[in-house]
Amino acid sequence: MLRTLKIKNLALVDDVQVGFNDGLNVITGETGAGKSLLIGALRLLLGERADKSMIRTGESTCSIHAEFGLADSSAVDAVLADVGLDACDGGLLIIRRIITESSNKALVNDEPATLQVLRRLGEVLVDMHGPYDHQSLLDPAAQLEILDAFGQLSAPMTAYRAVYSQYRELQRRIDELNAANEEDLMRQIEFLDYRVDEIEKARISPEEEAEVVEEHGMVANAQQLIELANGIVNALTESEGCAFDGLVAAQQNLNRLVKLMPEAQEWHDEIERATTAVREVVRSIEGSAAGIDASAERMQWLDDRLTTYQTLKRKYGATVEAVLDNCAEWRRQLDELRSRDRRRAELRQEADGVYAEVEKAGLVLRKKRENVADHLSECITRELVDIGFEHGFFDVQIKPCEAGPSGMDAIEFGFAPNAGEEMRPLRLIASSGEISRVMLATKAVLARQDRIPVLVFDEIDANIGGEIGGAVGRKLAEVAELHQLIVITHLPQVAAYGTTHLAVSKKVENGRTYTEVELLDAESRPDEIARMLGGKESTNVTLQHARELLER
């Protein structure tokens, strides 16, 4: 339940704290006193957008604070866990909203939260019903939602929407193929074909690019390379006093030394290995130097090949890998474009198969809806009898229609308010007062299985009065046995059924207007009911009438 609502600097509200209790909480007051500001503040806490114009004149900050005490916080905890917030401690949930001229901040249990999080919490915390929501009852989409909610058909609806979403995606892809202009397609094919052909003819690879770059550097420096290689060979084996001659002389001396000093054998072996190593190095250097093709023709080929790599990377990707990846994607696009007729046929065949699944899921959903529709009709009819339609009858009609996001069913709420009248669509015959009562009957039916703890009705009793008002009050009190109800009402017959009564008024002090909220007790409550009965000037008659209403 909603325990406390604190509002500071919101429109006419200076600083107000309102306490709510279980059962039926009624809010009354003269027109313009600020009753709807309380509901507006609650809407802000549950994710409605705000702007600085809501801040009380002369102030820089507006704040709203609500505390909920939840006997079962599992639904709220699931939302909090999904967005990375801690679960409620002992069922306590605190939501705050702070609005300034330059910022807008929301907090859930003192942790920052987004408006989307507030809206998600609102979906499981509070069912808000305002004076303009009656007309939603005439919308077929809303009627279908009511039927599905009553029948708890979320599972078959989810199953249907899953296959329907697949079907719509296939249809979208088919439509794209159908919508393509033939001339544009040919231009696109030519464009992609040119790119792919240019890349494939070049036969590029990251490995070859590395080799070309390396060889180009060698050939460009061929003269210096050959001179250096010859210098090394001369120093090692050919010039006078070369390293090889020195090693041979040392080896000859070691041969004699070994005979005199056996441990010199190790030195002899080291020198022999060094001599062999020098020969191998010389052969490798001579082979590499001889293998350098420093011809003009080879240099031209290397220049051309490097230019090819540079050009392709400049046009089609930063690296050879990127160029090849792009080429593969363009080749895939080409294949799809060239085979679009075949692809279109494949998609149509796939779509036909998925549509069969759509129909299957849709028929399952329809069967369940048909089973639920009669029960919903009976339940709402019983509720309508309780609130003044003694001979009224409510009907839910379901007819097949083309598959859509919500199924394959067209729905129509029918209503016969009086005996002897034939059933006609609700949208054609209901007055605003009748719509209000049908909405209340619908809410009463849904409330019996709805887990949302708080229901808010802002003038659901508009355009009704007299004995019907008393019937509406009794019905609200009945629903309040299952949920906490917060009801703004202008009817004394409804207000009399409240277990908690809050009176909203406004006053002017020093040229400023202030909204005040008073919790009425047994002594002050008859005065407010009397005001609602007879205006500002209460008489003994109206006071007596007010007491009688409260005693019922």
Residue with tokens 């129509």: 412
Q: Taking the mean position of all CA atoms in its chain, how far away is CA 334? A: 35
Do 196 and 308 fall within a single domain? yes
List of residues 6+ apart from 209 with CB closer than 8 A: 309, 320
The count of other CB atoms within 10 Å of the CB of residue 390 is 10
Cα–Cα–Cα angle for 50, 55, 61, rounded to 5 degrees: 100
CB 320 within 8 A of CB 213: no
Residue 542 lies in a domain: yes
Do 441 and 470 fall within a single domain? yes
Q: What per-residue confidence (pLDDT) applies to 237?
A: 65
Pairing of strands 24-29, 500-509: parallel
Q: What per-residue confidence (pLDDT) applies to 14?
A: 81
List of residues 6+ apart from 468 with CB closer than 8 A: 387, 388, 433, 437
List of residues 6+ apart from 125 with CB closer than 8 A: 46, 68, 76, 93, 452, 453, 454
Tell me the C-alpha distance between 422 and 411, whole Å.
Answer: 18
Residue 37 lies in a domain: yes
Domain end: 338, 365, 384, which one?
338
Give the CATH number for residue 457.
3.40.50.300
How many CA atoms are closer than 13 Å to the CA of 458, on its beta-carbon side?
Answer: 19
CB 315 within 8 A of CB 326: no
- The total of structural domains in the chain comes to 3
Q: Please give the full DSSP string across 358-404, using - where no structure is assigned.
A: HHHHHHHHHHHHHHHHHHHHHHHHHHHHHTT-TT-EEEEEEEEEEEE
Do 275 and 209 fall within a single domain? yes
Q: What per-residue confidence (pLDDT) applies to 423?
A: 81
Domain end: 338, 361, 391, which one?
338
| pLDDT tens digits in sequence order for the chain, 552 residues long | 899 999 888 887 888 888 999 999 999 888 777 778 888 888 999 888 888 888 888 788 899 999 999 888 888 999 999 989 889 988 899 999 998 888 888 899 989 999 999 999 988 888 887 766 666 677 888 889 889 989 989 999 999 999 999 999 999 988 887 766 777 778 888 999 999 999 999 999 999 999 888 877 776 655 555 556 565 656 666 667 676 667 777 777 777 777 777 777 877 777 778 777 776 776 776 666 655 655 667 778 888 888 899 999 999 999 999 999 999 999 998 888 888 778 888 899 999 999 999 999 999 999 999 999 999 999 999 888 888 888 888 999 999 999 999 999 999 998 887 777 778 888 776 566 677 788 888 888 887 777 788 888 887 776 676 778 888 888 888 888 888 999 888 888 888 889 999 988 888 877 787 788 888 888 888 888 888 887 666 667 778 877 877 777
Tell me the C-alpha distance between 516 and 502, whole Å.
Answer: 10
Q: How many residues are present in the chain?
A: 552
Residue 441 lies in a domain: yes
Do 315 and 229 fall within a single domain? yes
Work out the angle between the directed axes of helices 320-338 and 182-202 (0-180°, nearest 10): 140
Do 91 and 191 fall within a single domain? no
Residue pLDDT, tens place only, 224-276: 555 565 656 566 666 676 766 677 777 777 777 777 777 778 777 777 787 77
Domain end: 314, 338, 362, which one?
338
Q: What per-residue confidence (pLDDT) applies to 542?
A: 77
Do 490 and 552 fall within a single domain? no
Cα–Cα–Cα angle for 120, 458, 547, rounded to 5 degrees: 135
Q: What per-residue confidence (pLDDT) applies to 276?
A: 76
List of residues 6+ apart from 15 with CB closer than 8 A: 7, 8, 9
Do 334 and 189 fall within a single domain? yes
Residue 414 lies in a domain: no
Residue span of the structural domain in which 495 resides: 1-131+433-519
Q: Tell the burial category of 102 from Cβ atoms under 10 Å away from its Cβ (0-12, 13-18, 19+).
A: exposed
Residue 51 lies in a domain: yes
Q: What per-residue confidence (pLDDT) applies to 531?
A: 85
Residue 349 lies in a domain: no
Do 77 and 6 fall within a single domain? yes
Runs of H (alpha helix) within 55-181: 74-82, 115-125, 140-151, 154-179
Cα dihedral: 481, 483, 489, 493 (round 10)? -10
Residue with tokens 């702070």: 98
Single-letter code of the amino acid located at 328:
A
Residue 177 lies in a domain: no
Residue 200 lies in a domain: yes
Longest dimension (CA), the chain: 146
Q: Please give the full DSSP string across 514-551, using - where no structure is assigned.
A: EEEEEE--TTTHHHHHHHHHH-SS--HHHHHHHHHHHH
Do 326 and 236 fall within a single domain? yes
Do 544 and 514 fall within a single domain? no
Closest CA to 121 of 76, 87, 86: 76
Do 211 and 320 fall within a single domain? yes
Q: What per-residue confidence (pLDDT) applies to 116?
A: 92
Do 1 and 126 fall within a single domain? yes
